[in-house]
Amino acid sequence: MGKREYMLEEIEKLMFDPEVIRNIAIVAHVDHGKTTLSDNLIAGAGMISEETAGKQLVMDYDKIEQQRSMTIKAANISLAYNLEGKDYLINLIDTPGHVDFGGHVTRSMRAVDGVILVVDSVEGVMPQTETVLRQALKERAKPVLFINKIDRLINELKLNYEQMQEKLTKIINEVNKLIKANAPKEFVDDWLINVAKGNVAFGSAFNKWAISYPFSQRTGINFKTIYDYCSKKEHEKLREMAPSHEVIFEMVVKHLPNPKVAQKYRIPVIWHGDLNQSYAKDMLEMNKDAKVIAVVFGVVVDPHAGEVAVGRVFSGTVKKGVEVYVGNEPEKQKIQQVGIFMGRERKMVEEVPAGNIVALVGLKNIFVGETVAEEKIEPFEEIKHYSEPVVTKSIEAKDTRDLVKLVEALKKMAKEDPTLRVEINQETGEHLVSGMGELHLEIVETKLKDDYKIDIIAGAPIVVYRETIEGSAGPVEGKTPNRHSKFYVTVEPLEKGVMEKIDSGEIEEGKPKGKKIVELLVEGGMPRDDAKNVVYIKNKCVLIDATRGVQYMNEVMESLIEGFKEAVDDGPLAREKCLGIKVKIVDALIHEDPVHRGPAQVIPAIKRATYAAMLYANTILLEPKQKITIQVPEKYLNDVVSILQGRRGEILSINQEGELVTIVVKAPVAEMLKGFSDQIRGITQGRAIWYYEYAGYEKLPKDLMQKVVESIRERKGVPKEPPKPEDFLEK
């Protein structure tokens, strides 16, 4: 296979032939070898030397990534590769595996049509493997499988030939189980992994060799060959006989779809507009001569160019000077520069047609997930993150002169990573930063100190709770401060099915759009009368206007929505966000004079009535939980189980394979923050490996409720004693 240095001009030519384009991401659990495999492919395409591949880690170009030997954010690169005499363009995204950075994986899935799922042959399918594969399948990205670190089975575990085959078959079966459960029904058979099909490869990314069934048939190099050379540790020889990039690129080109094929079935899933409109047809057909439509899946803050939007072009051809709408912004903006990413470098190009990944310079107020289009169109489905930020830290600037700099830096970081939430308290100068876990926040602190050169003081980690209600209450009367208008409110728990649909992204938060949402609410278990009158959804809480024939109701509706939003963002019990509450306005008496029913009157009335009703309905706290998978040698099992039970952990399963035991437990985030890592490392002499994933919110035990509520209120500077319903009602 002729190797040559592929220049930018080559890539620019290939962009216009959809047949030869593959948009792919490499996804896996943390440490299973994604970035090393990316290096192999980049070297195979002639962009770096083969010698340094696997050590250079081109895609981990952030300083912190290099220090910690882990991928923190998704990185893109465009590669040209020659297979069987034909040139192909591979737009590749290397994604993180650590659960704290799972948001980057979710966002990357919007841009690609296929994924290489990497699985460590020793560890097998791990929690994050399942999560990333589910995310890929939800966005209709087709998978191929690379089982990595095969040499470990032979040299470390000393498995014989049969045991090795058994282990690999088990991994393939587990991946297929996930594909059967999550792939679109019409594609299941085609997408299942099968050695004979050629959509699975085995190898060692670190040692740069791999094989697949088609490669084996062609060359005569089989598992027996691999086993023999591996046992003798002759990896150089294997690399000459079976270079990993040849095997992987062949699998990608032959088994993953080109964008023209993929857009036909992906567009109806990720875009919910009318498919009969002309621009919808342009996307389905990937018409490069149509008007531009793209989706932003990443924002990179460049010190020279400002915000760079990284997007997938679904129709049209992006050029400098094209004017586009960004999200809901009313005015068009001009694209100032067009480029493509080559790892850390952004190369300027004249134009990028549909079916490719593009870097856009010059767009302001751009956010991840936004639609960029020449015409106003129905936006793409929101990119739904599967976890919520559950750990918060307060961050302050040591020197007050750095305050403005700190605010700017935090805003930039939240722009690049939407799973990071930043709340800026102007009064106290304190900034609350919420992330997926301790590591996520640690990285934020490091970047503030090293990249932005700001000296900061960071508080101890704080757990984010939610408020909800156990019962129903009302009608409760809420009077405006001038007593001229009255609103009557009831509250009850929101139906579980509706919450699940909000979670999965089927029902979007905000004002309901279109008639379809009524059917979705009814499917989720909400009575049709309620579903037809939903006016706003926020924090998985719903506001319903159940009034009949009340005068001036539509004129005060915006203020009522505002009051509802304030109430569910700042609950009555511990000033935490609310979750799963249905607020119904059942009646109202509204003053006829507009002067007496402005926002300053209506907002407090609805807010106070909602608070009182919630307290009557018994407001409780929900705490975030994590599902933790822990692997330990058998002799430490009892000690680890007692640590977990001491931290209110609920053991879900214990499985043993050889000497290694895998414990799956669900535990409160609050308990895991109190020195868990040090304790478990100490008791197992550093032999435990663990991974955690977000497991939703559950009721805080009654005996802890009062203590936790009081400590949160004290921290927030409000009276320790929680309010009573009467405190919110007119005397």
**Could you report the per-residue pLDDT of 645-656, keeping only the tens digit for each?**
999 999 999 988
Cβ distance 373 to 294 under 8 Å? Answer: yes
Cα–Cα distance, 315 to 280 (Å, whole number): 9
Averaged pLDDT for residues 209-220: 90
Cα–Cα distance, 125 to 262 (Å, whole number): 27
Cα–Cα distance, 47 to 162 (Å, whole number): 39
CB atoms within 10 A of CB 643: 20
**pLDDT in the model for residue 95:** 57
Does the structure show a pLDDT above 50 at 366?
A: yes
What is the CATH T-level fold of the domain 262-373, as seen in this structure?
Answer: Elongation Factor Tu (Ef-tu); domain 3 (2.40.30)
Instruction: Write the burial class of residue 463 (CB in 10 Å: 0-12 exposed, 13-18 middle, 19+ buried).
Output: middle
User: Higher confidence at residue 331 or residue 4?
Assistant: 331
Could you read off the pLDDT of 381-428 as tens digits, one per residue? 766 655 567 778 888 888 888 888 888 888 777 776 767 778 776 555
**pLDDT in the model for residue 33:** 63
**pLDDT in the model for residue 222:** 84
Cβ distance 667 to 629 under 8 Å? Answer: no
CATH code of 622-700, in short, is 3.30.70.240
Cα–Cα distance, 523 to 531 (Å, whole number): 10
Q: What is the pTM of this model?
A: 0.67
Reduced to 3 states (helix: H, G, I; strand: E, B; else coil), residue 628 is strand
Q: Tokens at residue 276, please?
A: 């009969």
Which of the listed ranges 207-221, 479-493, 669-683 does the model predict with the highest average pLDDT? Answer: 479-493
Q: Side chain identity at 331, as an amino acid letter? A: E
**pLDDT in the model for residue 104:** 47
**Location of each CATH 3.40.50.300 domain in the chain:** 8-257
User: What is the H or E stretch that residue 168 is in?
Assistant: helix 161-182
Averaged pLDDT for residues 323-346: 82
How distant, in Å, are the alpha carbons of 125, 166, 296 from that of 173?
Answer: 10, 11, 35
Could you read off the pLDDT of 256-275 as tens digits, one per residue? 999 999 999 988 888 878 88
**pLDDT in the model for residue 45:** 59
**Location of each CATH 3.30.70.240 domain in the chain:** 622-700
CATH fit for domain 391-464, picks 3.30.429.10, 3.30.70.870, 1.20.1600.10, 3.40.50.150: 3.30.70.870
According to DSSP, residue 107 is labeled H
**Location of each CATH 3.30.230.10 domain in the chain:** 467-617
Strand-pairing partners, residue 466, are 622
Is residue 214 very low, low, confident or very high in pLDDT (cuts 50, 70, 90)? very high
Is residue 486 very low, low, confident or very high in pLDDT (cuts 50, 70, 90)? very high
| DSSP tally for the chain: helices H, then strands E | 25, 32
Cα–Cα distance, 229 to 343 (Å, whole number): 34
User: What is the H or E stretch that residue 493 is in?
Assistant: strand 486-493
The maximal CA–CA distance of the chain, rounded, in angstroms, is 90
**pLDDT in the model for residue 432:** 81
Closest CA to 725 of 481, 468, 483, 473: 473
Does the structure show a pLDDT above 80 at 725?
A: yes
Share of the chain above pLDDT 70, in %: 88
**pLDDT in the model for residue 101:** 38
Instruction: Write the burial class of residue 384 (CB in 10 Å: 0-12 exposed, 13-18 middle, 19+ buried).
Output: middle
Share of the chain above pLDDT 90, in %: 38
Reduced to 3 states (helix: H, G, I; strand: E, B; else coil), residue 675 is coil
CA 424, 512, 537, 373 dihedral sign is negative
Do the strands 462-463 and 391-397 form a parallel or antiparallel pair, or are they unpaired? antiparallel
Residues 467-617, CATH architecture: 2-Layer Sandwich (3.30)
Is residue 541 very low, low, confident or very high in pLDDT (cuts 50, 70, 90)? very high
Q: ω into residue 475 within 30 of 0, thus cis?
A: yes
Cβ distance 157 to 122 under 8 Å? Answer: yes
User: Residue 320: what are its φ and ψ, rounded to 5°?
Assistant: -60, 135
**Angle at Cα 377 formed by Cα 372 and Cα 381, nearest 5°?**
75
**pLDDT in the model for residue 386:** 54
Is residue 107 very low, low, confident or very high in pLDDT (cuts 50, 70, 90)? low
Cβ distance 201 to 212 under 8 Å? Answer: yes
Cα–Cα distance, 138 to 270 (Å, whole number): 9
Reduced to 3 states (helix: H, G, I; strand: E, B; else coil), residue 697 is strand
Could you read off the pLDDT of 246-258 as tens digits, one per residue? 898 899 999 999 9
**pLDDT in the model for residue 56:** 41
Q: Side chain identity at 659, as an amino acid letter? A: E
Does the structure show a pLDDT above 50 at 171?
A: yes
Cβ distance 437 to 100 under 8 Å? Answer: yes
Is residue 318 very low, low, confident or very high in pLDDT (cuts 50, 70, 90)? very high
**pLDDT in the model for residue 76:** 67
Strand-pairing partners, residue 360, are 309, 338
Lowest-confidence range among 158-167, 171-180, 543-552, 608-617? 158-167
Cα–Cα distance, 186 to 140 (Å, whole number): 11
User: Higher confidence at residue 24 or residue 491?
Assistant: 491
> Yes or no: is domain 8-257 CATH 3.40.50.300?
yes
Per the listing, tokens 């649909």 go with: 501
Could you read off the pLDDT of 25-77 as tens digits, one per residue? 888 776 666 567 767 766 655 554 444 434 444 343 344 333 433 333 345 67
- The DSSP string of 430-475 is -EEEEESSHHHHHHHHHHHHHTS---EEE---EEPPEEEESS-EEE
SS3 sequence of 556-575: HHHHHHHHHHHHHHCCCCCC
